[in-house]
Chain A
Amino acid sequence: MGLIWRAWMRDWRRRPLQRVLTLLGVVIAVAVVLAVDLANQSAQRAFDRSMETVAGTATHQVLGPPEGFAEALYAELRSAGQRETAPVVEGAARLEDGRSIYLLGVDPFAEGPFRGAASDIGAAPVQRLLTEPGTVLPPRQWFAEQDAADGDRIELQAAGGRHAVRVLEADGAGEDDGRVWVTDIATAQVLLGRDGRLDRIDLRLEDAEAQRAMERALEQAAGTAGVNPEELEIVESGARDQASRELARAFRINLTAMSLLALLIAAFLVYNTQTFAVLRRRELLSSLRLLGAGRGRVVAVVLLEAALVGLIGTLLGALAGIALAQALVAQVAQTVTDHFFAAAVTQVTPRPLALLAVLPVGVGVALLAALAPALEAARHAGPSGQGAGAGEARARRRANRLAVTSLGLLVAGAGVLVTGVAGLPGAFFGLFLLIAGFVLLLPRVLGWTLRGLAALSAGRSLPRIGLRSLERSLSRSGPAASALTLALAATIAVSVMVGSFRGSVEQWLGQALTSDLYVTPVAPAAARDAARLPQDWAGPLLSESGADSLSTGTTVETGSDAGRVELFVVRPHPDWLEHLPLLEVDGPRDGLADRMAAGDAVLVTEPFAAHHDLQAGDDLELAVPGGRRTFTVAGVYRDYATPQGRVMIPHGAYARDGPAPEGVGSFGLVLPPDVDPEAAVERLEAWLAQRDPAAIVTRPAELEQESMAIFDRTFAVTHLLRIITLVVAFIAILGALMALQMERAREFATLRSLGLEPRGVHGLVLLQGGVLGLFAVLAAIPAGLGMGWILIEVINRQAFGWGMDLRWPGREVAGTVAVGLVAALLASLWPAWRMARMRLLPALREVT
Chain B
Amino acid sequence: MRGMLRAGLLVLLLSGAWLAGCGGEPPEPASDEEGTALRVADALGEEDLEGFRRAEEPRVFEFPRDHGPHPGFRNEWWYLTGNLEDPDGGRHGFHITFFRVALAPELEGDPAFHGSTWATPRLWMAHAAILDVEGDWHASEERFARDAAGLAGASEPVGRVWLEDWQLAGLAGDTWDLRFTVDGRELELELEPERAPVLQGEAGLSQKGPEPGNASYYYSVPRIAARGTLRGADGAERALSGQAWLDREWSSGALSDGQIGWNWFALQFDDGTDLMYYQLRREDGTPHELSKGRWMPADAPDHELRPEHVELEPLRHARMPSGNRYPVVWEMTVTPPDGATPRHFRVEAVRESQEMDTVIPYWEGAVDIRDEEGERLGRGFVELTGYEREDQE
Q: Chain A interface (Cβ within 8 Å of chain B)?
A: 71-72, 74-75, 78-81, 83, 107-109, 111-113, 116, 119-124, 127, 130-135, 163-164, 166, 184-187, 189-190, 195-196
Contact = CB atoms under 8 A, between A and B. Distances in A.
A826 to B, nearest CB: 63
Nearest to A190: B113
Contact of B21 (A75, A83, A112): A112
A122 B108 contact: no
Contacts of B13: 122
B116 A190 contact: yes
21 contacts: A78-B165, A81-B164, A83-B143, A107-B118, A120-B22, A121-B22, A121-B144, A122-B14, A124-B16, A130-B120, A130-B123, A131-B108, A132-B104, A132-B107, A132-B109, A134-B110, A166-B109, A186-B113, A189-B118, A190-B115, A195-B116
A160 to B, nearest CB: 10
B113 A72 contact: no
A112 B23 contact: yes
Interface in B7-54: 13-24
Closest 8 CB pairs of A and B: A122-B16, A122-B19, A133-B113, A134-B113, A186-B116, A75-B150, A186-B118, A132-B109
B122 to A, nearest CB: 9
B149 interface: yes
B112 interface: yes
Given A72-B150, A195-B116, A120 B19 contact: yes
Chief secondary structure at chain B's binding surface:
loop
A163 B114 CA distance: 13
Contacts of A116: 21
Nearest to A134: B113
Nearest to B151: A75
Contact of A134 (B16, B109, B146): B109
B14 A185 contact: no
Given A78-B151, A78-B165, A81-B181, A122 B22 contact: yes
B154 to A, nearest CB: 15
Given A112-B23, A122-B18, A163 B118 contact: no
Nearest to A183: B113
Contacts of A163: 110, 112-113
Given A131-B107, A132-B107, A133-B109, A196 B117 contact: yes
B145 interface: yes
B320 interface: no
Contacts of B144: 109, 121
Contact of A121 (B14, B150, B164, B181): B14
Nearest to A187: B113
Nearest to A225: B150
Nearest to B120: A130
Interface string B118-160: 1111010000000000000000000111101111000000000
A187 B120 CA distance: 11
Nearest to B24: A112
Nearest to A185: B118
B103 interface: yes
Interface in B156-214: 164-165, 181
A848 B341 CA distance: 131
Given A75-B150, A131-B108, A132-B108, A119 B22 contact: yes
A80 B13 CA distance: 28
B119 A133 contact: yes
Contact of A189 (B116, B123, B145): B116
A119 B109 CA distance: 22
Interface residues of B, number: 40
A189 B112 CA distance: 11
B23 to A, nearest CB: 4
Interface of B: 13-24, 103-104, 107-110, 112-121, 123, 143-146, 148-151, 164-165, 181
A195 B115 contact: yes
Contact of A127 (B103, B116, B117, B149): B103
A81 B24 contact: no
Contacts, number: 119
A587 B99 CA distance: 68
Contacts of B18: 122
Contact of A120 (B17, B20, B107): B20
B146 A107 contact: yes
A166 B112 CA distance: 13
A120 B164 CA distance: 20
A108 B149 CA distance: 14
Given A122-B20, A127-B14, A134-B113, 6 more contacts: A81-B181, A107-B118, A124-B16, A130-B146, A133-B107, A186-B118
Contacts of A74: 149
Given A81-B181, A127-B103, A130-B103, A113 B23 contact: yes
B112 A109 contact: no
A109 B117 contact: no
Among the interface residues A74, A78, A186, which one has the most CB atoms of the partner chain B within 10 A? Answer: A186
Contacts of B103: 127, 130-131
Contacts of A122: 13-22
A164 B121 contact: no
B100 to A, nearest CB: 14
A78 B181 CA distance: 12
A166 B110 CA distance: 9
Contacts of B145: 78, 109
B165 A80 contact: yes
Contact of B118 (A83, A164, A184): A184
B167 to A, nearest CB: 9
A122 B144 CA distance: 12
Contacts of B104: 131-132
A131 B146 CA distance: 11
A130 B121 contact: yes
B158 to A, nearest CB: 20
Nearest to A123: B16
A258 B88 CA distance: 80
Contacts of A112: 21-24
A11 B198 CA distance: 106
Given A122-B13, A185-B116, A79 B164 contact: yes
B147 to A, nearest CB: 10
A133 B16 contact: no
A291 to B, nearest CB: 75
- Max chain A Cβ within 10 angstroms of own Cβ: one of B113, B150, B181: B113
